[in-house]
């Protein structure tokens, strides 16, 4: 096993010094087994970017992990014991500890695995070389497959044969583009072998659940600049396979405009800009995301006043709609317009139902409120309570003022 003596700095990886994590490592090591941090926490610590969770890999079997954890006063939970994963709760924090594995059989969605005591077996079954990096309890990095060179170059590369890696789990195609969006240096272009393998295995994407595809698309579109990844997805046919009718032209423009304006990436706004047929269902969006997607879509394409949209649905909805409208017109949005949406979104209508009762009630009350709100919006929010209450009734009081 090749060993890279790069050390993770505890100042950029506080989990290394965490007593809860150290307790898990000590418990497993006490049984004479190897225990390493693995994957994203190691990768991100070396790249100096935040991590979302801390995973561990070990030569101990799941049953040994359970026994050793209990002996150390920790709480093991068999969350994925059939696949070798035990969640060890230490100091109130759950750490996924997975036995070294090798694939026995795969069908593109799930794998049958056998446990191993060889870290290289475990590394070879992972997706990308930058994810096959391990660190011991002291932060020393172990690199069984030469992933450090790729990490330093920000090069996303499949482990060994790209075709085989993809056919083991077709979600890896989407993960490949997502990793490029977040971690890749695309100045020299994407890996030709990877793109060829992806193009040859598009049919496998159709076997994936909508939830898994939707989750990957969300993560990809949350990256600061996923433009290159999206363009490559379109070029390989990946985008059209998962979202028929999608087109990157306008989404790339909205991404550029958002960067110029210094806006926080909005993945649903970018998704609306991509277009496509029946997108919420294809990606199985949550009800909350479906509602927001529909709001952005309506605001962008139905000609509403975006100032009114900002007031009724929030400045963020109006902003995303403006980015899309400007992309369609191939113009840049103006900073002052975005500021105007923020102002509109913070306004409070100065008339309440109580101001109109008991003179108005029922449908007539609703109609009068709507009339006054419309006048207030037209006044650029300048009309006061007194101004509005002094307005003449536009018609009769039967609910159709």
Structure confidence by residue, pLDDT tens digits, 60-99: 999 999 999 999 999 999 998 888 999 999 999 999 999 9
Between 3.40.190.10, 3.30.460.10, 3.30.450.80, 3.30.420.40, what CATH number should domain 1-152 receive? 3.30.460.10
pLDDT score recorded for residue 110:
61
Q: What is the pLDDT of residue 105?
A: 59
Domain range annotation of the chain:
1-152, 349-401
Distances in Å between the Cα of 85 and the Cα atoms of 26, 72, 98, 103, 141 are 18, 18, 4, 15, 22
pLDDT averaged over every residue in the chain: 92
pLDDT 10s digits, 272-314: 999 999 999 999 999 999 999 999 999 999 988 999 999 999 9
pLDDT at 1 over 50: no
Lowest-pLDDT range of 10-14, 202-206, 365-369: 10-14
341-380 b/e with 16+ CB inside 10 Å = b? beebbeeeebbeeeebeeebeeebbebbbebbbeebbeee
Model pLDDT, residue 115: 87
Quick one: pLDDT at residue 188?
Answer: 74
Place of tokens 């598009």: 202
Q: Tell me: the pLDDT tens digits for 209-250?
A: 999 999 999 999 999 999 999 999 999 999 999 999 999 999
pLDDT above 90 covers a percentage of the chain that reads: 83
DSSP 268-328: HHHHHHH--SSHHHHTT--HHHHHHHHHHHHHHHS---HHHHHHHH-HHHHHHHHHHHHHH
| Average pLDDT, integer, range 52-63 | 94
* Position 3 confidence tier, pLDDT thresholds 50, 70, 90: very low
**Is 60 exceeded by the pLDDT of residue 129?**
yes
Cα angle 36, 37, 39; round to 5: 125
Which tokens hold the place of 168? 């083991």
Q: Which helix or strand (DSSP H or E) is residue 103 part of?
A: strand 101-106
- What pLDDT does residue 189 have? 78
**DSSP 8-state assignment for residue 224:** S
Q: Which two tokens stand for residue 71?
A: 């002996």
User: Cβ–Cβ contacts within 10 Å for residue 58, how many?
Assistant: 28
Whole-number pLDDT of residue 104:
65
pLDDT digits over 143-187, tens only? 999 999 999 999 999 999 999 999 999 999 999 999 999 999 877
Give the pTM.
0.87
- Does residue 363 register a pLDDT over 70? yes
Is the omega angle on the peptide bond into residue 358 within 30 degrees of 0, that is, cis? Answer: yes
Helix (H) or strand (E) holding 98: strand 93-99
* CA 150, chain centre distance (Å): 23
Token duo for residue 21: 């994590």
pLDDT of residue 98: 96
Query: What is the per-residue pLDDT for 10?
Result: 79
């Amino acid at each position: 096993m090749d060993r890279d003596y790069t050390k993770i700095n505890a100042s950029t990886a506080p989990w290394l010094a965490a007593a809860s994590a150290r307790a898990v490592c000590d418990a497993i090591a006490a049984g004479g087994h190897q225990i390493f941090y693995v994957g994203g926490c190691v990768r991100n610590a070396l790249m100096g970017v935040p991590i979302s969770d801390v995973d561990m890999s070990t030569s101990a079997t799941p049953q040994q992990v359970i026994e050793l954890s209990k002996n150390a006063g920790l709480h093991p939970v068999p969350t994925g014991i059939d696949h070798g994963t035990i969640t060890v709760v230490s100091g109130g924090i759950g750490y996924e500890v997975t036995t070294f594995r090798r694939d026995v059989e795969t069908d593109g969605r799930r794998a049958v695995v056998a446990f191993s005591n060889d870290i290289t077996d475990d590394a070879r079954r992972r997706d990308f070389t930058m994810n096959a990096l391990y660190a011991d309890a002291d932060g020393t990095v172990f690199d069984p497959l030469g992933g450090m060179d790729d990490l330093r170059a920000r090069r996303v590369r499949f482990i060994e044969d790209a075709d085989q890696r993809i056919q083991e789990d077709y979600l890896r195609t989407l993960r490949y583009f997502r990793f490029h969006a977040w971690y890749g240096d695309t100045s020299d272009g994407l890996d030709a072998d990877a793109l060829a393998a992806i193009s040859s295995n598009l049919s496998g994407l159709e076997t994936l659940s909508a939830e898994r595809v939707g989750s990957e698309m969300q993560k990809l579109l949350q990256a600061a600049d996923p433009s290159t990844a999206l363009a490559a997805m379109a070029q390989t046919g990946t985008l059209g396979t998962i979202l028929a009718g999608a087109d990157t032209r306008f989404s790339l423009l909205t991404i550029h405009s958002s960067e110029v304006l210094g806006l926080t990436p909005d993945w649903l706004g970018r998704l609306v800009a991509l277009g496509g047929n029946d997108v919420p269902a294809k990606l199985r969006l949550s009800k909350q995301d479906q509602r927001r997607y529909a709001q952005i879509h309506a605001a962008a394409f139905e000609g509403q006043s975006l100032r009114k949209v900002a007031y009724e649905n929030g400045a963020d909805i109006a902003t995303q709609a403006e980015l899309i409208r400007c992309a369609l017109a191939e113009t840049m949005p103006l900073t002052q317009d975005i500021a105007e949406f923020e102002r509109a979104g913070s306004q409070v209508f100065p008339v309440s139902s109580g101001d109109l009762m008991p003179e108005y009630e029922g449908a007539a009350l609703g109609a009068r409120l709507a009339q006054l709100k419309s006048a207030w919006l037209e006044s650029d929010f300048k009309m006061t309570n007194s101004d509005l209450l002094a307005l003449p009734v536009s018609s009769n009081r039967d609910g159709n003022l």
